[in-house]
Structure 1
Amino acid sequence: MQPFVPASWVEGGDAAVVDVRDPWEYDSIGHLPGAVNVPFDSFRSDEGEAGKLPPRAEWEELLSDAGIGTDEEIVAYDDTQGVFAARFVVTALLLGHDPEKLHLLDGDFSSWQREYETTTDGVDPDPATYESDPEAETPLVDFETVRELLPAAESGDVTLVDTREDWEFAEGHLPGAVQLDWRELVDEERRGLRPESELRELLEERGIVPESRTVLYCNTARRVSHTYLVLRQLGYEQVELYEGSLTEWEDRGGELVTE
């Protein structure tokens, strides 16, 4: 799996390009040539499958209307260093799209426009037929699984990673969790990933190593999506997502600690 791709790959390829920003940004500020607009709010659901995933039928309709077919290669971007676009990519993954055909622009719209063309021309895609795969294996774990893993996390046998900010972590986190703000993985100037050597050093310092089973959470599965893709980019194989994250955890009375 190669989640992150450079701008040169996007420009020279034939993948379906998805812009997840608000429509006014897409229309007024501009977008990548040929990109279709699938706003972030259009694929979020408070009532959907597995917590925050949209209902499968709505997802299929959304991608079909955007002209994206079932087997198509997809690359998504935003203008927030990739965190919103990462949620699109992970949504597609969790609903059964081929992970080898899912990518995130390494950077964002602001970094793209420094060197590449943008446009305000409208895009009117030909409708396609998109079918998700309800039988696909995904890295999803649920509330019960995470609760059962807490002793292993506290003993260090499982790495439970909180991808929120320091102050959020201090206010309350899952027992045994280590803190890794997703923004620590991003180069603020380049707006894409930090160099691989820096990423590996940071992760090792936090005890997040490839050999360990790693489970990620945040509040509503947005930030965790970006961190998941970074770990997969680095070759981590045992990475799982707690989709419900703290929103579900607290609603169901899960234990939180502050120390």
Structure 2
Amino acid sequence: MNASYAALIGALELAQHVGDPDWVVIDCRADLVDKDFGRRAYDTAHLPGAFFLDLETELSGPRTATSGRHPLPDPASLAARLAAYGVGNHSQVVAYDDASGMFAARLWWLLRWLGHRRAAVLDGGLQAWMAAGLRLEDETPATRAATYTLALQPNRVDSQYVRQHLGSPEILLIDARSPDRFRGENEVLDPVGGHIPGAINRFFRDNLDARGCFKQASVLREEFATLLGARSPRQVVHQCGSGVTACMNVLAMEAAGLTGSRLYAGSWSEWCADPARPVARGPG
């Protein structure tokens, strides 16, 4: 079997596997404001053989009055969609975007939730691919149906779990939003500004270097170890605005060998939808 990638993969490494029958590349480009951006960008040009999955309609479920902005999709529906693209239980899946992994990490985490370990994010995304002088295409590849069997993993928590553990040393809640939004300032995506009481802030972009690639594993390990202190990675719960960019922090920890952290998928947008839930503001 080919080498297995479970966190990140470089552009030149991926290029060696273009056309491999057991490799599936998924374009996850998106824009939180322009909902049609990803599909338009994919139709214009994409990595050879890549398929497209839409953040709003395929990597998320229907929004409700009490959910966050990007509820988790139905796992069986997602598995069926992946299988239609040729993803089987032993396929190597590579997700990419043009935002340094901001959206690709969502698919990576969803695959881990489904029980799929051979899933990676293209480090540096489309920009790294282009910088390496690699080609794009505008053709939609032929589908190649596969069979996928679910094995859902306990790598997520819900709002009830978070509320029950507010102030508890048993968990470390890490908020991936920008520092100003964490403090409750400049909130433009959600109706309420602030953060979940007890959370600390680790902006998802702090995982990246100046090129837009993930920092070296040793650097990420040191930075997260400072946040964790004596806690185990399994005590960490990640969240953000809607459960998308927090996956960048999960991915960074996994790339650093700090395995087992979980995601509060509803995140701030779900939390603040219930006025009975407490809100904190300021630096935390």
TM range (shorter): 0.7 to 0.9
* Aligned residues between the structures: 251
Following superposition, which runs of at least 4 residues in structure 1 exceed 6 angstroms of deviation?
48-51
Partner of 2:85: 66
1:116-155 equivalence runs, <5 A: 116-133=133-150, 135-152=151-168
**SS state at 2:251 partner:** helix
Residue number among 54, 57, 66 corresponding to 1:42 in the alignment: 57
Deviation at 1:132, TM superposition (A): 4.5
Indicate whether 1:258 and 2:281 are aligned.
Answer: yes
Give unpaired runs (5+ residues) of structure 2: 30-37, 185-193
Instruction: State the superposition RMSD in angstroms.
Output: 2.4
Give the 5 Å matches for 1:150-161: 150-152=166-168, 156-161=169-174
- What's the TM-score once normalised by structure 1's chain length? 0.87
Higher helix share: 1
State how far apart, in whole Å, the 2-side matches of 1:162 and 1:258 are.
13
| Post-superposition offset of 1:236 | 1.4
> 1:16: how far off?
0.7
Worse overlay, 47-56 or 10-19: 47-56
> How much has 1:201 moved relative to structure 2?
3.4
Letter in 1 for 2:145: A
Residue of structure 2 aligned with 1:247, choices 246, 269, 273: 269
- Counterpart for residue 104 of structure 1: 121
- Once residues 229 and 249 of structure 2 are traced to their aligned partners in structure 1, the CA distance between those partners, rounded to angstroms, is 12
Among 200, 205, 208, the residue aligned to 1:186 = 208
| Higher alpha-carbon deviation: 201-210 or 166-175 | 201-210
1:87 maps to a residue whose letter is R
- Give the percent of matched residue pairs that are identical in Structure 1 and Structure 2: 25
Larger mean CA deviation between 79-88 and 199-208 belongs to 199-208
- The residue matched to 1:146 in structure 2 has which SS? helix
Measured against aligned partners, the alpha-carbon deviations of 1:133-173 in whole angstroms (never above 9, x if no partner) come to 1x432311111111122121xxx443110111111111111
CA–CA separation in structure 1 for the residues paired with 2:152 and 2:248: 21
Taking the aligned partners of 1:26 and 1:243, their CA distance within structure 2 comes to 26
Structure 1 range deviating more: 55-64 or 220-229: 55-64
Q: Is 1:23 aligned to residue 23 of structure 2? A: no
| Residue in 2 that maps onto 1:228 | 250
Cα distance change of structure 1 residues 209 and 181 upon mapping to structure 2, 3 Å threshold: farther
Q: Is the 8 A contact 1:215 1:242 kept in 2?
A: yes
Q: Which of 169, 181, 184 is the equivalent residue of 1:168?
A: 181
Q: Distance in 2 between matches of 1:151 and 1:132?
A: 38
Query: 1:86 Cα shift?
Result: 0.6
Residue range with higher mean Cα deviation, 160-169 or 47-56:
47-56
Q: CA deviation at 1:103?
A: 0.8
